[in-house]
Amino acid sequence: MARGGAMGELAELGGGMAALYAHALAIEREAAERYNEFAERMADEGNDAVARLFARLAGFEGEHAKALERECAGMALPPIAARTNKASTIHNTFRMRRS
């Protein structure tokens, strides 16, 4: 499946379009998940305005992921390894901030 533009140019570097879509989806899903975690944490901290901002950003990233899913529907995407220390990173970020 040939595509033009930046995605097509990047696909030529290796892995093809399927690999690029798989990575892009992983990035968008990760961003949505992290923004949701930040939103929850800010709500717990009583910072409702910032919690709403992070929730809104999570929504944007979720929409980006949905758009990518539509774009690559029917394409066999390679698996992308998930990071393992996500939640602890978020927790430690806020713990360090309080110290």
pLDDT average, residue stretch 87-94? 52
Counted domains in the chain: 1
User: In angstroms, rounded to a whole number, what is the distance separating the alpha carbons of residues 96 and 82?
Assistant: 24
CATH number, domain of 41, equals 1.20.1260.10
Give the model's pLDDT for residue 5. Answer: 60
Is the pLDDT assigned to residue 1 strictly greater than 50?
A: no
The pLDDT score that the predictor gives to residue 12 is 56
pLDDT digits (tens, 9 = 90+) for 6-62: 555 555 556 788 888 888 999 999 999 999 999 999 999 999 999 999 999 999 999
- Number of Cβ atoms within 10 Å of the Cβ of 58: 20
In a domain, 6, yes or no: no
Instruction: Return the residue matching tokens 């097509």.
Output: 8
Question: What does pLDDT average to over the chain?
Answer: 80
